[in-house]
Amino acid sequence: MITRRAALTGLIAAFSAQDLKAQTKNTLFVSSQNSFLHDPGPGWPDRPERISSILNALEAPEFITLSKREAPTAELKSILRVHTHQLIRLLEQATPKNGFSSLGQDVTLNPYSLSAAMASAGGAIAATDAVMCGKAQNSFVATRPPGHHALSNQAMGFCLFNNVAVAAMHARAIYNVERIAIIDFDVHHGNGIQDFFWGDKNTLYASTHQMPLYPGTGELNETGAFNNIVNAPLRRGDSGEQFQEALKNRILPRLELFAPDLIFICAGFDAHIHDPLGGLRLLEEDFRNVTLRVMEIAQRRCQNRIVSLLEGGYAPQDLARSVATHIKTLMEA
């Protein structure tokens, strides 16, 4: 009898064989020009400058070997594995011909927002394809809008589509990936991820985040239908010491025990000490540490397969330094 993991190995080999030129690279960086077009207006925290600051940081010599590609537009069928037709119709109808349109729940659209969201989801899918086909050891996707707050039927918290959920369901549908882990260190809890995977015994969602804070979810007792949700809330003013304790005592042991076939990271850098939307006190070294710890488990459990997606981080220069640290660490695999 062929096990699902054996089938997964065979399927990945088959996909890799389709491209004879494909050679395993270290780290793939995915971005999108559409990210610059999604501009919700003056004073909005999720600004195009977030991406330009990251791209500028990656001009440093240590990133010369970093593979880069443009994010494609996601296919509708990929979005519909997670989101409803009703949400897509709502976003289409709410997209203005010019100016801005507000949906409430911290969602503002301009004429290019939906295209940017489709590229964000497409970038997550492309990064997943690269890792699963052996074209990259791991990957990082720097696109916007972010995704971890989006519900199946509702855009919220700057997020239109839940990029990591779309990528995870793509991995499951195309590569037969069984056990998927999602590690989230954004300062805000990923309520959309938790909601979508609440009843999925083969998906582990583990989050560190500040509480109380938007969106108000992420209590210790929110554990999922199959004990597959791990929340490690931190308090305003907590620093790297408390963050590392939460990782060591709650997040990493569960990740190791879960033994995933693929790991996603929701890389939100708004837990940085200088971020205007959070109250935690993390530094670049804390982001390096969590990246290393997850990489160590990925090496033991899933052949180093990691797909990391940008979520929050709203102080552009601190975001750029934090992302550069994260990517430089991923490149050490």
Quick check: is 250 in a domain?
A: yes
Q: Are 257 and 227 in contact (CB under 8 A)?
A: no
How far apart, in whole angstroms, are the C-alpha atoms of residue 119 and residue 281?
32
- Mark out the alpha helices in 68-223 (DSSP H runs): 76-79, 85-94, 113-132, 163-175, 191-197
User: Which residues are part of the catalytic machinery?
Assistant: 149
Other CB atoms within 10 A of residue 19 CB: 11
Position 115 in a domain: yes
HEC letters along 204-247 = EEEEEEECCCCCCCCCCCCCCCCCCEEEEEECCCCEHHHHHHHH
Band of pLDDT at residue 2, cut at 50, 70 and 90: very low
Q: How high is the mean pLDDT of the chain?
A: 94
Q: What is the pTM of this model?
A: 0.92
| Residue 5 belongs to some domain of the structure | no
**How far apart are alpha carbons 252 and 257 in whole angstroms?**
9
- pLDDT at 144 > cutoff 50: yes
- Rounded CA separation 209/17 (Å): 41
Note the pLDDT of residue 259: 98
Q: Across residues 270-277, what is the average pLDDT? A: 98
d(CA 32, CA 13): 28
Tokens found for residue 231: 């929340």
Q: Which residues contact 231 (CB under 8 A, 6 or more apart)?
A: 189, 206, 207, 209, 218, 219, 220, 222, 223
Domain assignment of residue 202, yes or no: yes
CA distances from 122 to 98, 152, 224, 326 (A): 24, 17, 28, 21
6-25: per-residue pLDDT in tens? 444 444 444 343 442 444 56
Among 44, 40, 153, smallest CA distance to 96 is for: 40
Are β-strands 67-70 and 203-210 bridged in parallel, bridged antiparallel, or unpaired?
unpaired
H or E, element range at 255: helix 252-258
**pLDDT of residue 260 exceeding 50:** yes
Domain count, the chain: 1
Tell which residue, 301, 322, 233, has the closest CA to residue 50. 322
pLDDT tens digits, 53-64: 999 999 999 999
Q: Which domain holds residue 117?
A: 24-330
Q: Which CATH number do you get for residue 119?
A: 3.40.800.20
Residue 194: per-residue pLDDT: 98
Kindly state whether residue 7 falls inside one of the protein's structural domains. Answer: no
Give the CA count within 13 Å in the CB-facing half-sphere of 313: 34
- Neighbouring CB atoms inside 10 A of 20's CB total 7
Rounded distance, CA 216 to CA 214, Å?
A: 5
Task: Establish if 12 belongs to a structural domain.
Answer: no
Residue 19 falls inside a structural domain:
no
Q: Which two tokens stand for residue 86?
A: 């009703």
- Band the pLDDT of 333: cuts 50, 70, 90: confident
pLDDT in tens, 127-141: 999 999 999 999 999
Chain segment 95-128, per-residue pLDDT in tens:
999 999 999 999 999 999 999 999 999 999 999 9
Query: Is 83:152 a contact under the CB 8 Å cutoff?
Result: yes
Question: Would 4 be classed as within a structural domain?
Answer: no
